[in-house]
Every structure is written in structure tokens, then in C-alpha cells.
Amino acid sequence: MTYKAPVKDMLFNMQHLAHLDQVAQMPGFEDAGLETAQAVLEECAKLNEDVVSPLNWEGDKYPSSFHDGKVTTTPGFKQAFRQYAEGGWQGLQHPVDFGGQGLPKTIGAACGEILNSANLSFALCPLLTDGAIEALLTAGTDEQKAVYLPKMISGEWTGTMNLTEPQAGSDLSLVRSRAEPQPDGSYKIFGTKIFITYGEHDMAENIVHLVLARVTGAPEGVKGISLFICPKFMVNADGSLGARNDVHCVSIEHKMGIKASPTAVLQYGDHGGAIGYLVGEENRGLEYMFIMMNAARYAVGVQGISVAERAYQKAVQYARDRVQSRPVDGSLNTAAPIIHHPDVKRMLMTMRALTEGCRAMASVAAAAYDAAHNHPDAEARKQNQAFYEFMVPLVKGYSTEMSLEVTSLGVQVHGGMGFIEETGAAQYYRDAKILTIYEGTTAIQANDLVGRKTARDGGQGAKALAKQIETTEAELLSSGSAHAQAMLKRLKAAREAFVDTVEFIAGQAKADPNAIYAGSVNYLMLAGNLMAGWQMARALLVAERELAAGNDAAFMQAKVTTARFYADHILTRVPGLRDAIVEGAPGVTEMALEAF
């Protein structure tokens, strides 16, 4: 099945919801208007539809392999990665000073969606490299930036993040890898890191590992962790590659999904110590790694949207082709394609509405990121930063949980054939599962949303968002159309449920933390559902105006219908989630541990 990038929907979001025209007025983004966005997205679509997408199924059948310490990627990956790098795609949203194109995240994130839809396993290599670039841009010395960034931004070298160890998964206070200071200012690194995405591969000349480790004598816990650059090959003074560093892949994992992406176990220091260079200051490693993690968390949310889009397209194609049973309304007196059946349409509409809602939410969040970093006004930067930080756990948590629902429905639309690997529907379902786990599980995103983003300021930031949603409600009220009134009813009920929940969290956070965290994932799902639904409400208003002006009737009508579906079938989940959070804690907390 061929993948077709949803460029029109992306441009609609950028123009009408993310207000790319305003982003393009910010310093450094003057050339990044809608015309540029369209040209970039169309080029990106071409490469991914023609070159990267055909390798997706191949990667599932012929995963990366490990032999004698070397990893060989799926046939075709190496060549495709060269085309990706030579096209300048790795540097799309990185600074011009180091050879990037300096485009806003609003455009870059859409290109990220296209790449991930084409091939989730392939896209993980650039995704991790982006995170490593962000960390070095923030905390690296001028010399480190000069040595590593141009080669990483050009795609000649790739990057990794090395956090996890066998005993230290989500709890990084348990990191035991150690770093011993050397007389020349470098460090020797010793330890084992697991789950390292593209920790070893054959697609680039060098791999720049960013590694968390403890300097000898550092404090216990997260306060004693430092961050190090540890390249696979040492870099000579003239920029050429030198000796092999003492970091080696000892195995790769056999996984449920994303099989083509090599997930490596890396051993540091088996032959005298891997040479590493401190990034920033000692004992501030976690702070710097969070920069990578935040970049990666947003990107993983986009992966959820990507795989959902791919599953939706495949399901629609199958539903058009598969003939089975007469339509229930008697409109045809012979068996018809299953897309005629109301329940199949319900499944397809659920897939479509969830995907479009999350795409709109991610696009608006990306524009906030751009404003937080580039807006000339300090107050505007601060407000956009707060908005973006609230949205990151939602983009990551809600969009990835959504992708499981959508890819599961994709299998269901195929019926029995969906359970057969050869149709390809099952691959999306298997690939999607990791998205709710890596870069912080859904529960970790939910804990962040509850603790840092809601309880810490007494719910003030969350309530400010609710006020913004009320503005959209007022616009829906004055629209007067039946679809706008239906959306108003559902959006208002969802916002009120959200405010109730925020007050419960703010009021009970200290008094009864178990009750709050028992409902944390439900709160994340409630908030994500509402924020995506809010963007669909805004999209509905825009589409109605465009229809009235006679613009692109088929696309705009479909947008109105999708938004209406979101209102009646997805936003309606929110009040039930509110009840589970505010009233449902005893059912979670009261069971005796020995009764499990």
C-alpha cells in the first residue's frame, strides 16, 4: 500500500490554527511563510513516499542484524539515509550557523510526521540525532559544537542518548555508569547501557553517544549524574576520524515492533575505558538530558500521529476494496464494499478524527515552541513557553495512546485479514505499542502533567487554558450552525469537566497524593482529548467560513464533518473520565496488596 502525505491538512493547521504567518514575522523566520512551508512539505512528501515508505514492510521482514560486534541495517536503509542526509533534512530546524536550514518547528514537526508515517523504524535515527543536537546546542562548549554539530546536522554522523541501564529504567537515580577524570581534562567511562536506539549501525561514519554517568565521588541520586560526549570513533584535530573508542555493541534486542531499528546494548570501558568529554558542568547531566528528552517526547507524540495516519490510509483503502454483505439500508441489492456499512464508517471516522485532532494539537504546540524561543517580546515568550510545556505530555501521552486505539481499529477494519501479517495492518499496531513506553511511559507523562504542570501552581495555568477555550465557545455560539452548536455543547461540557478535575488535583495534591495519582493517566487522557477537541472546534469555525466564501468545498466540508464526529463521539468521553478521577480513587487505592 502506498502512503500519501496529508500535506493539505498540515498546511490547513499551519495557516489557520498555528498561524504560521505570525511565526514568519519573528526574527530568523522571515522566509518561513506558507509558500515556503508548502514547498518544503511537498519535497519532503516526494522523498518519503518514493524512497523511505517502500522500505517500511521490508524492515519488518528483514530487521537489523548483529554479527561480530557489527550491526547491519535492513537492505536499502543505508542508501535511503544518504538521500535523506544529502537533501538537508536532518538540519531542517537546526541553526544556519552549523549548516542547518533554521526553519521553525511548526514546519519541521510536519516533516517529522511525514518521515515517521513513511517508516517509523527508519525515522528513529534522525529523531535521536535531533535530541543530541539540541542538548549540545544548549550545554556544549564552543569547541564541542564546532567539532560535532556540523557533521550531525549534515547527517554524516548520528547521535544517541544513553540513559537506561539494566537496574535503572525510569528511575535515573539508580544510574551506576561511572566516569573517572583524566589529567588531560577528559574522562574514562565504564558501564552498561541498554535500549540504545541506533546505538550501533552502518548508516553513518560516526555515532556520537551522549551518556549519563557518575563522576567518581559524586553525590548519590539524580544530583550526582553528569553528561558526556562519547564518540564511537575519536575525532582528530583536523576533524578526520581517528581510533575506535572503547564503546562496543554486545547485542541488539528482538522486539515486538520497530524491528528495523537496532536497539543496542552498549558496553563502555571493557578495554581500559571509553574516552568521554563532559558536557556543561559536573552533576548537571540530568538537567541537560531533559532537553533531549523534551525534544524527543514531542517527537514521539508526532510518531503516534504518524503511525495512526498510516493505519487510517491503509484501512480506508481496504474498506473501499473489500466486498462483503449488502448495505443495511437496501441502497444496493448486491454485496458492496464494506465502506458502505455504518460501523465501518464509525471505525474509519474514529481513526480520522483522533488523528486530525492530535495533528492540530501538535501543530499549535510547535508554533508555541517557536514563539517561546523567537518572539521579540519577553512576556509573549514566557506565555508560549508555559503553553508548550503544558502541551508536551499531552502531545506525547495522548497522541501515542491514541495511536494504539487507531492502529487496533485498523486491524479490526481488515477483519480476519488484519490478523494476517502479510496485509501489513498488524505491523502498525505492533510498532505503535512502544510509543506509549519509551521516552517516558504514559504514567510518567501523566505524573509530569499532575505534579509539575497542574498542582505546582495550584491549577492556575490549566485554568488559564480553560479561559482560552471559553473564547472559542463564544465563537461557536455566534456561528449559529447546527454543527457549531453541537460542538459548543460537547466542548463546554468537556471544559467544565476539565476545570472540576483541575480543582480536585490542586485541592488534594498534598492531602491525598495517592488519590490524585490514581487518576493521573485518566487526567492526561481527559486533557489531551479536550485540547485536541478544542483545536477541532477552531478548525470547524475556519472550515465553515471557508465554505461560505466558496473555498475548497470538498476539503472544508470533510473538516466540518470530522470535527462534528470528534464532538459527538470523542469529546463525550471527557465527563466520564472526570468522574473516574474525582470520584473513583477508592476503587484503585483500597485493595489490599496481598489481595492482588
End-to-end CA distance of the chain: 45
Distance between CA atoms of residues 425 and 384, nearest Å? 38
Distance between CA atoms of residues 30 and 537, nearest Å? 29
Distance between CA atoms of residues 107 and 10, nearest Å? 9
Distance between CA atoms of residues 103 and 95, nearest Å? 8
Backbone angles phi, psi at 164, to 5 degrees: -75, 140
Q: How many CB atoms lie within 10 A of CB 405?
A: 14
Q: Kindly state the helix (H) or strand (E) to which residue 157 belongs, with its residue range.
A: strand 157-162
Distance between CA atoms of residues 509 and 339, nearest Å? 48
**CB-CB contact of 302 with 113 (8 Å):** yes
462-467-473-478 Cα dihedral, nearest 10 degrees: -170
Distance between CA atoms of residues 474 and 525, nearest Å? 25
Indicate if the alpha-carbon torsion angle 584, 587, 590, 594 is positive or negative: negative
Q: Kindly state the helix (H) or strand (E) to which residue 277 belongs, with its residue range.
A: strand 274-279
156 has catalytic annotation? no
- Looking at residue 174, its amino acid is L
Q: How many CB atoms lie within 10 A of CB 199?
A: 25
Catalytic residue among 389, 439, 544, 546: 439
C-alpha cell at 102: 533554521
Distance between CA atoms of residues 301 and 83, nearest Å? 25
Distance between CA atoms of residues 176 and 221, nearest Å? 10
Question: Please, which residues have CB within 8 angstroms of residue 66's CB and are 6 or more apart in sequence?
Answer: 200, 249, 251, 252, 262
Measuring CA to CA, how many Å separate 391 from each of 10, 361, 397?
18, 8, 10
Q: How many CB atoms lie within 10 A of CB 373?
A: 15
Backbone angles phi, psi at 495, to 5 degrees: -65, -40
Phi/psi region, residue 285 (left: phi>0; alpha: psi -120 to 50; beta: rest), is alpha
Q: What is the DSSP letter of 329?
A: T
Distance between CA atoms of residues 472 and 360, nearest Å? 15
C-alpha cell at 495: 471544559
Residue with cell 571509553: 274
Residue with cell 465554505: 547
Residue with cell 502525505: 5
Distance between CA atoms of residues 388 and 522, nearest Å? 20
Distance between CA atoms of residues 211 and 285, nearest Å? 9
Indicate if the alpha-carbon torsion angle 440, 289, 102, 119 is positive or negative: negative
Distance between CA atoms of residues 180 and 43, nearest Å? 47
Query: Which residue numbers are catalytic?
Result: 439
